[in-house]
Amino acid sequence: MPTIPELLQANLHRVFGERDAARRRAAIDDVYSEDVVFTDPEGSVTGRDALAAKAGALLAGAPDTFSFREDGPAYEGADSGALAWTLGPEGAPVARGIDLITVRDNRITTLRTLLAPSAS
């Protein structure tokens, strides 16, 4: 039975940080409910297939030197959690955000990604 911090880390590394599509899909099936709702600044999508498409598109558009890293501790509630992250080359992130999750039956049912404003 995964803990909320383990689900947050799996979301970040095994899904959004995994460049191999087959491994990413296996993680999606393990980590999220079938009817997961993912919301980011571009909008919302529902279901594992839609989430897989979003993660794949994000990774396809990122250089190979970019990776996700935790940017602080995982926060945990009874059925929810949050984790701040960075994306970019090590030591020089180009994006920062926070993932907020809701959990039911040991799987993520909602994922909301908030992005920090980009520095100008």
Tell me: the pLDDT tens digits for 35-82? 999 999 999 999 999 999 999 999 999 999 999 999 999 999 999 999
Instruction: Indicate if the alpha-carbon torsion angle 18, 56, 99, 46 is positive or negative.
Output: negative
Give CA–CA dist 27/30, Å, rounded: 5
Give this prediction's pTM. 0.94
Instruction: State residue 89 phi and psi, 5-degree precision.
Output: -70, 155
Q: Which domains does the chain have, with CATH numbers?
A: 4-115 (3.10.450.50)
| Whole-angstrom distance, CA of residue 98 vs CA of residue 22 | 25
Position 6 pLDDT exceeds 80: yes
Q: How confident is the model at residue 120 (pLDDT cuts 50, 70, 90)?
A: very low
